[in-house]
Amino acid sequence: MTITTAHIPAIVALIAGILILVMPRLLNIVVAVYLICIGLIGMGVLRFFRL
């Protein structure tokens, strides 16, 4: 199984959803990290690091 940049947002969203269910107080942090990750992926920054 190969993880491509198309799979990363889905994986991040799944992990964020689980964390929010387990610890609702982490909502602000999880949302912030998710938005930063999606922004970096959208800008193509991860391709620079060959991920």
- Give tens-digit pLDDT for 1-51: 566 666 777 887 788 788 888 888 878 887 888 788 788 878 877 676 665
38 token code pair:
């999606």
pLDDT, position 2: 65
List of residues 6+ apart from 38 with CB closer than 8 A: 9, 12
pLDDT, position 48: 67
Q: Between the CA of residue 33 and those of 2, 3, 29, 39, 40, what are the distances in Å?
A: 23, 20, 6, 10, 11
pLDDT, position 24: 81
In a domain, 1, yes or no: no
In a domain, 39, yes or no: yes
Amino acid at 29: I
In a domain, 33, yes or no: yes
Range of the domain at 22: 8-48
Half-sphere exposure of 16 (CA within 13 A, CB side): 18
For the entire predicted model, the pTM comes to 0.52
9, 36 contact by CB (below 8 A):
no
